[in-house]
Chains A and B, each alone.
Chain A
Amino acid sequence: MKVIGQAISHESAREHVTGRAVYTDDLLPRYPQALHAWPVQAPHAHAHIVHLDVSPAYAVPGVVRVLTVSDVPGLNDSGIKHDEPLFPSEVMYYGQAVCWALAETEEAARLGAGQVGVEYEPLPAILTLQEAIRKESFQGSRLHARRGDVEQGLESSARVLEGELELGGQEHFYLETHASLAVLDETDHILVHSSTQHPSETQEVVAQVLGLPRNQVTVQCIRMGGGFGGKEVQANPYAAVAALGAFLTRRPVRVRLNRLQDITLTGKRHPFYARWKIGFSEDGLLHALRMELFSDGGWSQDLSEAVLARAVCHADNAYYIPHMDVRGRVCKTHKTSQTAFRGFGGPQGMVFIEEVLTRVALSLGLPGEVVRERNFYGVRGATSKNVSHLEVITTHYGQVIKDPERMPLIWHDLKAEAAFDRRRAETAEFNANNPYRKRGLAITPVKFGISFNLTAFNQAGALVLVYPDGSVQVNHGGTEMGQGLHTKMMQVAAQTLGVPLQSIRLMPTRTDKVPNTSATAASTGADLNGGAVKDACEQIKARLAVVAAQKFGVNPADVVFEDGQVWSIWKPAEGLGFAEVVRAAYTQRVQLFADGFYRTPGLYWDKTRMHGQPFHYFAYGASVSEVEVDGFSGQYTLRQVDILHDAGDSLSPLVDLGQVEGGFIQGMGWLTLEDLRWDARGQVATRSASTYKLPSFSELPPVFKVRLLPKATETGVVYGSKAVGEPPLMLAISVREALRDAIGAFGSGCIVELASPATPEAVYWAIEKTREKTLV
């Protein structure tokens, strides 16, 4: 029986529903001696720390230690770019942790932290993206990707439009806030349990702060209660504080951020601002695009440059544009250090180009879907004799799209399945009959590049152990945050070894099992680790095949492993159990464990020219959204969503379906109700669940049809699958465009300027503007 492709439940589903699944902070009751940590958070966006007096904290009963810069035996830095002091001398954002109190109870730690005296000298702060652009407050390098001659292209275009748009950030709001628990293990070495997507980097940072070689530090991530990129690098300072505390006090130290601390301390999705100019023909063919992107990186470099690079590389989405010039800068502001968030800049680049497409369509009086499908990569070649086919399937950064037919295939399949044309007519009819409520409909595509832009990260390792009873332990470098990676890795191992899933135990991610791993990020978890797990399992199976072949008296190539049985193709009825073969192998002194390794082939990237082949392949999808807007208040409902998404030959369809649905709703949250605000002092204004609203049950559309594209084998990826973590988030762009469609129906054919996120208030003002323009 095939294990790959089976729609099985999450490997921890039974533990989830019973409450027995253990997360980092659930370990706390096992360490009654643990100290609790509480940060002293600065009440300034930018300030010098003139004086720090920790002594009053010790007057609070239960306070054991206040950690400050003088306690750091190694480097006072929790980043890998060395611009993130763990204990700062200059406060760089409102709420930054200045020092940490450790105490017997959480309450005592909080009261102790409250007694620490800090004298600040406030400094001028840059709090908005616009101010940072004006003052040229940038960090990291300039990014620039180009093709053709954009000036000449714009000049020779029949029509030209320009515009600008600002996109809000997004709080990750993983349900599990950051948590670390550091202990001295049985051998007196530092073991840090951390909710981290990148245990190897957490290990590196902890070692750096403690001034230890990396082999002295072990980091383990059991599982996370959501990550979404927010735990890719941001877990490191909290792991470092816990480790430093444990190192100094020789007691377990627990750092667990409450929600308010998590929102005020940690980074978010980057707010972006773009200005653009597009040249196009009378029939809506895009000719030249100039786009400048500015992201709000916050106080430190973090992953901002890589995020921006992905935005630059996705400013084309699925469209061929002959002349393109995209530039980007990361702004430095006095805010939290913005970081990875599902999509990693891709969503911002794609919202901008979809904004452009809608503007082009409106200006021509054409439906958005018509302009979109005319401009797909590869489609253009059929309509123009002057350009080569290779040209129209090459992106502005030089990557040739090997499967350009995939996007139009998905698009037309989805349009038919969702009865798009019929619903266009129904929407128009509804709008003609309803002065106060309008409906809108839109379809948008997703083309998302898979691989880390930085080539070196595209490697992974695994360690597979087979025991003489036939049971198997699988270790790999990826972390489980709910995305179902461990489920998929169990399926890969079971399939490759030919054993039932029940024989496999998937181990927590630890740096002492598989070292030097990459972050579980960029949707690559299953591709990379799957490749490594498969490699390890194949080595073991090859050795076992030799043993079995001897017993059967056949060639090893003729031995089949399936469902816990081993047989030769010549006598399928006379098989052996997997455990029997394993035992025989053990007695013959055959190695029953193996390490596996995988590196993505064929990648190259010239960072300075922003040119090359950064992606192994593209993931595709499309979505149709239908909304209804109340003209009185701007409030709206999402009536129906139809999605067709390409997950290759899905490794685990139930898991992938969950990624598509969940990604869509999360993207919708970003573009609609998740309104991240900072106040005039630079403090996050929406710093709790009561002020920062996530999608809830009430945002689930009553009709939500999601299909995975059938017969979608991706050759060269583990079992023909495709990455699925991030791409579906951008399917939600159709919600924003459907809202614009509905808003436009309150006027007549004019430009719809809709802010992002499209809160009811933003929609209301967009309607008002539309009405005003119609009156004129």
Chain B
Amino acid sequence: MGQISFLLNGQTVRATGEDPHTTVLSWLRQQGLTGSKEGCAEGECGACAVLLLRPDGQGSRFEAVNSCLLLLPSLAGQEVWTVEGLAQGNTLHPVQEAMLQGGSQCGYCTPGFVVSMAAEYYRRDRDGFDLEALSGNLCRCTGYRPIQDAANSLGQPPQEDSLARRLTAPVPAVKSMEYCPETNGSPVQSPGRYYRPISLKELFQTLTDHPTAKLVAGGTDWVVEVNQRFARAEVQVDLSQIPDLKTLSWTDVYVEMGAGVTLCEAERWLQGRIPLLVEWFPLFASRLIRNRATLGGNLGTASPIGDLPPVLLALQAELVLVGPAGVRVVNLQSFFSGYRQTVLGPGEVIQAIRIPLPLAPLARFYKVAKRPMDDISTVAAAFALHLEKGRVQSIQIGLGGVAPTPVRAYRTEAFLVGRPWDERTVGAAAEVIRAEFKPIDDHRGSAAYRTAMLGSLLHKFHAETPEVRV
């Protein structure tokens, strides 16, 4: 209750007296493990990356995560490795050795790159090196080419590699946990409590006891608030270790993925079976984020610019909500009730996301942003189209960044249904969709550009589905 115990670089450590909002990064640095750096404190730069051991079948795998977005109590009972734990005495780890050839200049981002690279190095059944593994690490000096070369030079871990051997064994079983620091710890504020239930039953009990508790899944949104705007919660409830929120099933009529499934877990499990999501995953944040961020979390925050809702809206997804009173299923479009607001009742959580089958035959996702990878959308648009003899039988258009909530373009969809899928129709539909929404100006883009994109992306979708043109 008053301490957090976990494995750090192979050694058991205990933290006491720490405010439950303490991030792993700040704790590590206080301990003198200053290899992990703070570059942004919001999961954008990756300089703080650490390896978290996660279950993988019979064994385990390393996931690189941003330690600035990881709350210290969430580590309880888990196993974490930092850049300091990779070299064996004076013998560098292979990824460290590879980075020596120009991979570092100022060196500040380097530990984060080394950690991200190590996670990919140990990925099971890896064929080559997936550079996307480094998409969450920023370097201001090198221009990335030598880092790319370092990554591409890596072979497979040798049999005797101690970390590779570690992965053949399972992760420690995670237990239910309640943490409250000793009161003589922080001189400043009432430090609050941290609960980590491991069943829905336990979760509901905790939420009944603490109705205003802050729900934390991956923490990739909440801990940004903690770091950047100093948000504090009396009670935080960790949803990441509840098996009932992590189910995955593919039936004849729908695909169901638990709200607590991380984006990387979903990506691995789907194995390309939903093409729209295949296109979407790499555009949704970096792997460092996707290793933590959950499907339910991206919906629960109800951000107008979250990238998951447009895709799920186009896929006509439903949400399974569960609370002490039982289960209910709602359409995604009726889930968002306003700017950062949802229909979730007291004590209720998202249990799963359901995508109806069969999928529309033609679907695309477009994200307009200043940077293609790991940027927030100026406009995001997902299209799912069913054509019958060259005419639109049905179309779903999900949009982000053009209204206070993610939206479907119902008016435009209605306009299109029954018409031939040709330049003329699309030209007219572009007029309709531009008039359907009134986006705003901000630093990401002007209202005029967003409006223009509504029509343009529809044109683009049409232009990129030429094989079905009449």
Task: Give residues in A with beta carbon < 8 Å to B.
Answer: 9-10, 12-23, 25-26, 28-29, 60-62, 104-105, 107-108, 110-111, 172-177, 223-228, 258-260, 436, 481-484, 630, 632-633, 635, 637, 654-655, 657-658, 661-666, 673, 675, 677, 679, 685-686, 688-691, 693-700, 704, 706, 759-761, 764-765, 768
Q: Which of B138, B143, B446, B459 has its CB near the most chain A CB atoms (within 10 A)? A: B143
Q: Is the CB of B44 within 8 A of A175?
A: no
Judge if B176 is at the interface, Cβ distance under 8 Å: no
B327 at the interface (CB under 8 A from A): no
Known: A14-B92, A226-B141. A482 touches B188 (CB 8 A): no
Q: How many angstroms from the CA of A691 to the CA of B445 in the assembled complex?
A: 11
In the assembled complex, how far is the CB of residue A181 from the closest CB belonging to chain B, in whole angstroms?
13
Cβ of B82 within 8 Å of any chain A Cβ, yes or no, is yes
Beyond A29-B30, A61-B187, A175-B109, whether A226 also contacts B371 by CB under 8 A is: no
Q: Tell me, rounded to whole Å, the shortest Cβ–Cβ distance linking B426 to chain A.
A: 12
Contact A175-B145, Cβ < 8 Å, known A60-B188, A259-B39, A673-B370: no
Which chain B positions have C-beta within 8 A of A483?
105
B residues neighboring A (CB under 8 Å): 19, 29-42, 44-45, 47, 82-84, 86-87, 92, 95-97, 99-111, 114, 131, 134-135, 137-148, 186-189, 224, 228, 230, 366, 368-376, 378, 442-446, 449, 452-453, 456-457, 459-460, 463
Q: Would B141 and A633 count as touching, CB distance under 8 A?
A: no
**Nearest neighbor of A30 in chain B, beta-carbon distance:** B32
Give the most central of A176, A633, A675, A760: most B CB within 10 Å.
A633
Please indicate the chain B residues that have their CB under 8 angstroms from the CB of A658 in the complex.
102, 105, 141-143, 146
Closest 9 CB pairs of A and B: A19-B35, A482-B106, A225-B108, A16-B107, A689-B44, A665-B143, A482-B105, A698-B373, A689-B40
Q: Are A110 and B107 in contact (CB under 8 A)?
A: no
B34, B36, B147: most-surrounded residue (chain A CB, <10 A)? B34
Closest to B460 in A: A632
Residues of A within 8 A of B230 (CB): 110
| A635: contacting residue among B41, B111, B368, CB under 8 A | B368
Which residue of chain A has its CB nearest to the CB of B87?
Answer: A18
Q: Which B residues are CB-close (under 8 A) to A436? A: 460, 463
B106 touches A688 (CB 8 A): no
Q: Are A698 and B34 in contact (CB under 8 A)?
A: no
Q: Chain A residues with Cβ under 8 A from B445's Cβ?
A: 761
Alpha-carbon distance A107/B26, docked complex (angstroms): 12
Task: Give the number of residue pairs across the A-B interface with Cβ within 8 Å.
Answer: 257
Quick check: B41 and A258 within 8 Å, CB to CB? yes
Residue contact B100 to A9, C-beta cutoff 8 Å? yes
Is the CB–CB distance between B370 and A19 below 8 Å?
Answer: no
CB <8 Å contact, B140 and A694: yes
CB distance from B39 to the nearest CB of A (A): 5
Write out the residue numbers on chain A whose beta carbons fall within 8 Å of the beta carbon of B86.
Answer: 18
Q: Is the CB of A17 within 8 A of B96?
A: yes
Q: How far is the CA of A18 from the CA of B30 in the complex (A)?
A: 18
Which of B40, B92, B107, B443 sits near A677, CB closer than 8 Å?
Answer: B443
Q: Are A633 and B107 in contact (CB under 8 A)?
A: no
With A29-B32, A226-B140 given, is the CB distance from A174 to B135 under 8 Å? no
Closest to B86 in A: A18
Residue of A at shortest CB range from B19?
A: A107
Instruction: Return chain B residues, CB-CB under 8 Å to A482.
Output: 104-108, 141
Interface residues of B, dominant DSSP: loop
The answer, among B32, B40, B100, for a CB contact under 8 Å with A14, is: B100
> When the two chains form their complex, are residues A700 and B108 in contact, meaning their CB atoms are under 8 A apart?
no
Distance between Cα atoms of A397 and B87 in the complex (Å): 55
Q: Which residues of A contact B99 (CB under 8 A)?
A: 13, 16-17
Nearest residue (CB) in B for A768 is B452
Contact of A18 among B83, B134, B188, B369 (CB under 8 A): B83
Look across to chain A and name the residue whose beta carbon is closest to the beta carbon of B368: A633
Contact of A698 among B35, B38, B104, B372 (CB under 8 A): B372
Kindly report which residue of chain B lies nearest to residue A676, judged by CB atoms: B443
Q: Is the CB of B460 within 8 A of A223?
A: no
Give the Cβ gap from B177 to chain A, nearest Cβ, in Å.
24
**Which of B108, B145, B374 interacts with A226 by CB under 8 Å?**
B108
Is the Cβ of A226 less than 8 Å from the Cβ of B106? yes
Say yes or no: A696-B41 contact (C-beta < 8 A), given A13-B100, A29-B31, A108-B188: no
Question: In the bound complex, what is the Cα–Cα distance between A26 and B144 (angstroms)?
Answer: 25
Contact of B104 with A175 in the complex, beta carbons under 8 Å? no
When distances are taken between beta carbons in the complex, the residues of chain A under 8 Å from B31 are 29
A sample of 5 cross-chain residue pairs with beta-carbon separation below 8 angstroms, ordered by A number, consists of A19-B35, A176-B39, A482-B105, A679-B443, A697-B144
Among A26, A175, A630, A632, contact of B138 (Cβ-Cβ < 8 Å) = A175
Using known A-B contacts A482-B107, A697-B134, determine if residue A175 contacts B140 with beta carbons closer than 8 Å.
Answer: yes
Residues of chain B with a CB closer than 8 A to A104's CB: 187
Expressed in whole angstroms, the minimum distance between the Cβ of B322 and any Cβ of chain A is: 31
Q: Which residue of A lies closest to B282 (CB)?
A: A698
Closest A residue to B366 using CB positions? A633
Asked if A62 and B35 sit within 8 Å, CB to CB, the answer is no
Query: Known contacts A690-B44, A700-B144; is A657 also within 8 Å of B102 by CB?
Result: yes
Contact A666 B140 (CB under 8 A): yes
State the CA gap A695–B33 with chains docked (Å): 28
Known: A14-B100, A19-B84, A696-B373. A632 touches B456 (CB 8 A): yes
